[in-house]
Structures are given as structure tokens and as C-alpha cells.
């Protein structure tokens, strides 16, 4: 079998994310809640499903042997060692409310490791990309995370996962974090939070309970821009606590969050 070239995977991901982004952007104005999932806050729209279906169909048309893992359940097992990890619309609540902060996220894993990823935010007109070892880019321009600052000077992005028990725990964590940092940002799309870190628009990011489709592409983008991405127990955990920041600040944030414990919701 010929080795897979990560840049070719990225090219395909970029094409498919572009097409998916157009479809989703066209559908945004008339979208409505279709269903709720784990809790009333955890909404899904017909466009989440339609966009994932388009992505899955296009990826498998180009590479029929690959596996696909998508948030909305469009899973396909494959015979190659490539798996695509797809969040068709990251930031569904923003999408539903006509806001711009949502993105299509597509990561390519080879033998279990993410090697390429794209996060496309069509309404913002931004496209973030990375290939492992090849740097991170926004619209073709190289990205560099901001250098580490002490925690008290850090603008920290976070997100609140779905579920009442988890939300209550996140509020408790925030009581500890907020007085210790410059400020908090909650943009509503984990992939774009990590891309903001890559672009130096925040100093750090943390969130509990992310899934691989939330961080797959964007964690690589943040790493390639110079950030460390990990959790309390090493690599990006699922479920667990994802922390992303430049070395130095990462450890400071880790030491603040580590004693605060898990929320019990997984
Ligand atoms: C959610 C968003 C949100 C984050 C949640 C995610 P979705 O993804 O990224 O910012 O706080 O943890 O589940 O459901 O909009 O794809
Ligand atoms: Ca969702
Ligand atoms: Ca998501
Ligand atoms: Ca989603």
C-alpha cells in the first residue's frame, strides 16, 4: 500500500469543508431546532445532519476505503488506516441564533494520529489549516500563538459542555478561574476557540468534556502554532479536561484546574 500523503488529505479536507460551509451558510437563515440530544441545551438542526451527510459522502467518494467518525452519527468503518473526524457545524447554538461563530471541522487521522485538519468558518470568511510538522495557517498566512504570559495577564477562552450537572460544575470552576485571569471569553465553538489561540487572540483555552470531533482539527492547528494541547492525564483526553496554552502558561493553568476535580458527567 502506498503511504498516505498528509497534504493530499488536507487538500481533500479543504475542498469538502468549503463545499460543506457553503451548504451550511445557505441554510442558516431558515434553520430551526430539529431535536435535542443529551439535554435541552444540546440541540441539533437539520443542517447539522445534512452537512455531515455531504461531508461523509464526498470524503468516501474520493477515498472509499477510509473510516469516518462524525458527531451526528454518520459513522463508516474503513479498510485503510485513514479515519476522518468530522464536526459538521461546531457552534450549533451560534448557528441557530444567526451568529457568525461556527465552523466546519474536518481532521484526517492516519493510524490513530491526526496529521491534517481544516476549520472553515464561512460567515467569518476564515479558513484555518494545518499539517503535522508543517505549521498552522489562516487563509494561507502562517499563525503563531502569543508567547506565554503569567496567568493573571491571560485572556482565557473556555466553553460549557451540555448537561445540567456539568454546567453547575463549570460555574464552580469559573468562580475560581475568573478572579485569577485577565478575563474570560466564551465564543461558543470549541474549534474556533483553539484557532483563536493559534492566532494569538487569546492566551489559553480550557474545557471539560470535549469530543474528538470538537478538537480533532483545531488541536493540531493550535499545536502547530506553538501551543501545548493536553489534559490532566497527558494527550487530549475524551472525556476529560482539555487545556491548551503555550508552555509555561499551560502548567500554571493546569495547576489551577487540576485540584478542582471532575464533574461526574463524564
Ligand atoms: C459545542 C461547542 C461549544 C462547546 C461544547 C461543544 P457543537 O459543539 O464547541 O463551544 O462548549 O462543548 O459541544 O455541539 O456546537 O458542535
Ligand atoms: Ca452538537
Ligand atoms: Ca462541536
Ligand atoms: Ca457540531
Do residues 44 and 72 touch, judged by C-beta distance below 8 A? Answer: yes
Peptide bond into 211 cis (omega under 30): no
pLDDT score of 265 more than 80: no
Helices 6-27, 46-62: axis angle to 10 degrees equals 150
Reported confidence tier of residue 258, pLDDT bands at 50, 70, 90: confident
Q: Which residue of 190, 237, 266 sits with most ligand 1 atoms within 8 Å of its CB, as the best mutation to test the pocket?
A: 190
Cell 500563538 belongs to residue: 145
**155-212 pLDDT tens trace:** 999 999 888 888 899 999 999 999 999 999 999 999 999 999 999 999 999 998 888 9
Cell 452537512 belongs to residue: 51
Integer angstrom CA distances of residue 256 from 75, 97, 181, 208, 250: 37, 33, 11, 14, 10
Report pLDDT for 35: 82
**217-245 pLDDT tens trace:** 999 999 999 999 986 444 544 458 899 99
Reported confidence tier of residue 2, pLDDT bands at 50, 70, 90: low
Reported confidence tier of residue 251, pLDDT bands at 50, 70, 90: very high
Q: Which atom of ligand 1 is nearest to the CA of 48?
A: 16
Candidates 138, 119, 107, 140; CA nearest to 201 is 138
Taking the centre of ligand 1 as the mean of its atom positions, its distance from the CA of residue 4, in whole angstroms, is 30
- Is the complex ipTM higher than 0.95? yes
Q: Which residue of 214, 240, 244, 266 sits with most ligand 1 atoms within 8 Å of its CB, as the best mutation to test the pocket?
A: 214
As a whole number of angstroms, the distance between CA 78 and CA 136 comes to: 28
33-36 and 141-142 beta bridge pairing: unpaired
| Assigned C-alpha cell, 112 | 490513530
Report pLDDT for 160: 94
pTM (two decimals): 0.95
- Quick one: the chain helix, strand, coil %, rounded to 5? 40, 25, 35
Taking the centre of ligand 2 as the mean of its atom positions, its distance from the CA of residue 214, in whole angstroms, is 9
Report pLDDT for 263: 65
As a whole number of angstroms, the distance between CA 135 and CA 129 comes to: 9
As a whole number of angstroms, the distance between CA 231 and CA 209 comes to: 11
Reported confidence tier of residue 266, pLDDT bands at 50, 70, 90: very low
- Cβ of 231: how many Cβ atoms within 10 Å? 20
**What structural domains does the chain harbor?**
6-142 (3.30.540.10), 151-260 (3.40.190.80)
User: In this structure, what are the phi and psi dihedrals at residue 95, rounded to the nearest 5 degrees?
Assistant: -55, -45
Taking the centre of ligand 4 as the mean of its atom positions, its distance from the CA of residue 71, in whole angstroms, is 6
| Three-state secondary structure string covering 34-80 | EEECCCCCCEEEHHHHHHHHHHHHHHHHHCCCCEEEECCCCCECCCC
Q: Is 131 in the pocket of ligand 1 (CB under 6 A)?
A: no
Do residues 80 and 86 touch, judged by C-beta distance below 8 A? Answer: no
Residues in Cβ contact with 21 at an 8 Å cutoff, skipping those fewer than 6 apart: 103, 104, 120, 121, 122
Amino acid at each position: 500500500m502506498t503511504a498516505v500523503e498528509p497534504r493530499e488529505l488536507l487538500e481533500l479536507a479543504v475542498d469538502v469543508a468549503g463545499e460543506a460551509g457553503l451548504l451550511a451558510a445557505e441554510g442558516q437563515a431558515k434553520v430551526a431546532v430539529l431535536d435535542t440530544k443529551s439535554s435541552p441545551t444540546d440541540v441539533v438542526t437539520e443542517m447539522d445532519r445534512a452537512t455531515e451527510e455531504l461531508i461523509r459522502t464526498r470524503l468516501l467518494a474520493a477515498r472509499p476505503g477510509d473510516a469516518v467518525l462524525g458527531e451526528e452519527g454518520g459513522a463508516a468503518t474503513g479498510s485503510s488506516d485513514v479515519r476522518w473526524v468530522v464536526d459538521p457545524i461546531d457552534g450549533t447554538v451560534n448557528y441557530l441564533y444567526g451568529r457568525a461563530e461556527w465552523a466546519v471541522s474536518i481532521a484526517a487521522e492516519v493510524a490513530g494520529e491526526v496529521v491534517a485538519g481544516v476549520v472553515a468558518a464561512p460567515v467569518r470568511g476564515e479558513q484555518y489549516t494545518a499539517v503535522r510538522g508543517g505549521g498552522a495557517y489562516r487563509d494561507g498566512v502562517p499563525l503563531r500563538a502569543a508567547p506565554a504570559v503569567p496567568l493573571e495577564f491571560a485572556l482565557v477562552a473556555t466553553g460549557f459542555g451540555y448537561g445540567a450537572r456539568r454546567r453547575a460544575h463549570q460555574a464552580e470552576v469559573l468562580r475560581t478561574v475568573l478572579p485569577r485571569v485577565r478575563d474570560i471569553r466564551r465564543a461558543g465553538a470549541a474549534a474556533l476557540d483553539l484557532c483563536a489561540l493559534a492566532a494569538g487572540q487569546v492566551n489559553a483555552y480550557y474545557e471539560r468534556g470535549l469530543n474528538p470531533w470538537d478538537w480533532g482539527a483545531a488541536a493540531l492547528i493550535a499545536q502547530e502554532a506553538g501551543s501545548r494541547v493536553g489534559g490532566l492525564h497527558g494527550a487530549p483526553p475524551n472525556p476529560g479536561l482539555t487545556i491548551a496554552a503555550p508552555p509555561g502558561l499551560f502548567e500554571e493553568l493546569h495547576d489551577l484546574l487540576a485540584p478542582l476535580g471532575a464533574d461526574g458527567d463524564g
